[in-house]
């Protein structure tokens, strides 16, 4: 197994994981269930998140193989998508997000999650919230800038030490 970037000379590679897809308003709307056991402690769809978990496990095995085949290259799995997103949901109220809006779209209309597959953000008469910083999801599929900011901060804190990067401010 080879990555083209390694063939081109990359010596540090970050391979991103996947979001827990059962947490997004679009899929929560599409696969809504009356069965309470279909949801986890954050009210996200368990079965959808199992798909992301399977992807994570498969990807991590592939990274082990890549690392063994390319010992001179540092290959890091960026688990910020899955674990950092769960952290974000768990800590949402402490990070300034509205606890009642963590699974709702800021820009959207309809249903429990402010999302409609036929009337999406940007369509005529589809409103956006007044304060996007209180929401994790922008449009039911993408996150808000504030949510991405927190995920990026966790990513940098987790990934840089594994890449053995120097702090440019110290030089």
pLDDT tens per residue, range 77-107: 998 667 788 899 999 999 999 989 999 999 9
In the chain, alpha helices (H): 4-7, 25-30, 46-69, 85-91, 145-163
126: CB partners within 8 A, 6+ apart: 107, 108, 109, 116, 119, 120
**For residue 39, what is the DSSP state?**
B
Q: What pLDDT does 155 receive?
A: 86
Read off the pLDDT of residues 103-153 as tens digits, 9 standing for 90 and up. Answer: 999 999 989 999 999 999 999 999 999 999 999 999 999 999 999 999 999
pTM, two decimal places: 0.86
Helices then strands, counting H and E runs in the chain, come out as: 5, 2
Residue 171 has pLDDT above 70, yes or no: no
Nearest 10 degrees: CA dihedral of 30, 35, 38, 42? Answer: 90
Q: How far is 152 from 158, CA to CA, in rounded Å?
A: 10
Our measurement of the distance from residue 67's CA atom to the centroid of its chain's CA atoms, rounded to an integer in Å, reads 24
Report the chain's mean pLDDT, rounded to a whole number.
90
């Amino acid at each position: 197994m080879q990555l083209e970037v390694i063939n081109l000379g990359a010596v540090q590679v970050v391979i991103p994981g996947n979001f827990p897809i059962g947490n997004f308003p679009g899929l929560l709307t599409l696969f809504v269930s009356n069965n309470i056991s279909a949801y986890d402690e954050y009210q996200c769809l368990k079965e959808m998140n199992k798909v992301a978990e399977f992807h994570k496990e498969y990807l991590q095995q592939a990274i082990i193989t890549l690392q063994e085949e390319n010992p001179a290259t540092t290959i890091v799995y960026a688990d910020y998508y899955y674990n950092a997103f769960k952290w974000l949901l768990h800590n949402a109220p402490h990070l300034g997000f509205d606890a009642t809006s963590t699974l709702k779209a800021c820009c959207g209309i309809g249903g429990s999650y402010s999302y409609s597959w036929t009337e999406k953000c940007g369509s005529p008469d589809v409103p956006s919230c007044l304060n996007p910083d209180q929401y994790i999801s922008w449009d039911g599929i993408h996150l808000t800038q504030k949510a991405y900011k927190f995920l990026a901060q966790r990513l940098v804190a987790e990934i840089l030490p594994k890449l053995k990067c120097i702090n440019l401010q110290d030089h």
